[in-house]
Chains A and B, each alone.
Chain A
Amino acid sequence: KQWYQRRVRVNERVSPYLQESQQEVVDCLLEQCQSVEENFSRASPFAVGVHQLEIQRIRYMATDYLRTRLHKIEKHAEYALEEQKDQDGGEDAVLKLSPAEFIYAREFHRNFQNHLKDTALKHMPNPFNELKKSESVTAPNLNSFVFFKVKEDINDVLVDPREIPKDLTQGEIHISKFLPIATLLDQGKIHLV
């Protein structure tokens, strides 16, 4: 479970945009932490110390993961909300925001806009009075460069639209733009480094 969490956390850290919300993993880990803590009274003091260390480490990883997600939500609040809305119409969509994060994003966005309106826009003449949606959305740069490590052999990956498709063999590390690789990442065939 620890290695999986580490992988999830590194993926989230390095990618320019929110990955799928792995909220279940986080919840499961925290539950296990709690159950271990409840067993403390029965175990010897030495074991308690060791378990305590391990729990602190796991807790740090989970909170760090949540922190990076929150940071990304705050940076691209409007974009995330739009994407969620577009997907809700479809079937079985992959949700990037967990329910709590969705509420947080909405409130943050609302507060931010109110803040901008109250401090600046209210005092401006009429044509400039509103926050136009198309201009205020801070879309994440999905074309930024990332380092990848290949987990399985894949054939014919179109890494660069101007070049021919390449083969990726297992265990190599590549540098590339994020967008062409995003689907492979979702399928779990590569992971970010």
Chain B
Amino acid sequence: MGGGAWPFLVDVPLWLAINLRQRQKCRIITPEWLDVDKLKDKKAEEIESNLFTKPLHPHYMEISNIILGNSRDIQNADEVRTLVKDIWDIRAAKLRKSVNKMINHDAGDGQLLAHVEISNITVLEINTMRKFFTASLDHLHNLRNHAEICLRDLDKQS
């Protein structure tokens, strides 16, 4: 983030920068990853890789939305916005596919997957599906456990 009147460069937390910007007291210098070429490269990388790639920044979505929404003097604002949205869409699609795979996974003896590793995912993406995902996994495991208990009882009786 850069100073306006006396041009000096300062590192400030995001909320402070936005507040100063709204009071016209400073000019925000975009982080280096919020750049058209970098975003195009990232998008290509994201498309060809099967797993999640390392995100531009752990909170890239929030930061880009806030910065793009608040400053008027960023070049190619629209292009940057579409690129970020594309990256977000690609990752969301991968997320949906992997959730699907996990729920339908069959570990051989009818057991459900109880542990998955998924690095390189941002907190916002986790939160989009957190409630649904944890609730459905809970239900699945409940039903599976009940089924096991019932089968065991049946075996004992017969």
Instruction: Tell me if B133 is interfacial: C-beta within 8 Å of chain A.
Output: yes
Instruction: Tell me if B156 is interfacial: C-beta within 8 Å of chain A.
Output: no
Among B15, B111, B133, the residue within 8 A (CB) of A145 is B133
Contact in complex: A173, B114 (CB < 8 Å): no
Contact in complex: B130, A147 (CB < 8 Å): yes
Q: Which residue of A is nearest B121, CB measured?
A: A173
Instruction: Tell me if A185 is interfacial: C-beta within 8 Å of chain B.
Output: no
Contact in complex: B123, A159 (CB < 8 Å): no
**CB 8 Å contact bits of A173-193 with B (1 = contact, 0 = none):** 111110000000000000001
Contact in complex: B118, A175 (CB < 8 Å): yes
Contact in complex: A173, B134 (CB < 8 Å): no
* Interface residues in A112-167 (C-beta closer than 8 Å to B): 141, 143-147, 159-160, 162-163, 166
Instruction: Tell me if B138 is interfacial: C-beta within 8 Å of chain A.
Output: yes
Roughly how many angstroms separate A141 CA and B16 CA in the complex, as a whole number? 40
Instruction: Tell me if A57 is interfacial: C-beta within 8 Å of chain B.
Output: yes
Q: Which residues of A contact B130 (CB under 8 A)?
A: 147
Contact in complex: B16, A176 (CB < 8 Å): no
Contact in complex: B16, A50 (CB < 8 Å): yes
The secondary-structure label for the interface of chain A is mixed
Instruction: Tell me if A107 is interfacial: C-beta within 8 Å of chain B.
Output: no
Please tell me the number of chain B residues within 8 Å of chain A, measured between CB atoms: 20
Q: Which residues of B contact A163 (CB under 8 A)?
A: 114-115
Instruction: Tell me if B126 is interfacial: C-beta within 8 Å of chain A.
Output: yes
Instruction: Tell me if B68 is interfacial: C-beta within 8 Å of chain A.
Output: no
Please tell me the number of chain A residues within 8 Å of chain B, measured between CB atoms: 23
Among A53, A54, A174, the residue within 8 A (CB) of B117 is A174
Q: What is the distance, in angstroms, from A73's C-beta to the closest C-beta of chain B?
A: 21
Contact in complex: A141, B138 (CB < 8 Å): yes
Contact in complex: A193, B123 (CB < 8 Å): yes
Among A143, A162, A166, the residue within 8 A (CB) of B141 is A143
Contact in complex: A193, B115 (CB < 8 Å): no
Contact in complex: A174, B138 (CB < 8 Å): no
Contact in complex: B118, A174 (CB < 8 Å): yes
Q: Which residues of A contact B36 (CB under 8 A)?
A: none
Among A50, A57, A175, the residue within 8 A (CB) of B115 is A175
State whether A174 and B15 are in contact (beta carbons under 8 Å apart), knowing that A144-B134, A145-B134 are contacts in the complex.
Answer: no
Contact in complex: A193, B117 (CB < 8 Å): no
Q: What is the distance, in angstroms, from B89's C-beta to the closest C-beta of chain A?
A: 21
Roughly how many angstroms separate A53 CA and B20 CA in the complex, as a whole number? 11
Contact in complex: A53, B16 (CB < 8 Å): yes
State whether A173 and B119 are in contact (beta carbons under 8 Å apart), knowing that A141-B138, A144-B138, A160-B114 are contacts in the complex.
Answer: yes
Q: What is the distance, in angstroms, from B64's C-beta to the closest C-beta of chain A?
A: 21
State whether A176 and B114 are in contact (beta carbons under 8 Å apart), knowing that A57-B15, A145-B137 are contacts in the complex.
Answer: yes
Q: Which residue of B is nearest A16, CB measured?
A: B134
Q: Which residue of B is nearest A141, CB measured?
A: B138
Instruction: Tell me if B116 is interfacial: C-beta within 8 Å of chain A.
Output: yes
Pairs of residues from A and B, 4 with the lowest C-beta to C-beta distance, nearest first: A160-B114, A159-B115, A145-B134, A145-B137
A147-B126, A162-B114, A171-B119 known; 15 other A-B pairs, CB under 8 Å? A53-B15, A53-B16, A53-B19, A57-B15, A143-B138, A144-B138, A145-B137, A159-B114, A159-B115, A160-B115, A163-B115, A166-B115, A173-B117, A176-B115, A193-B126
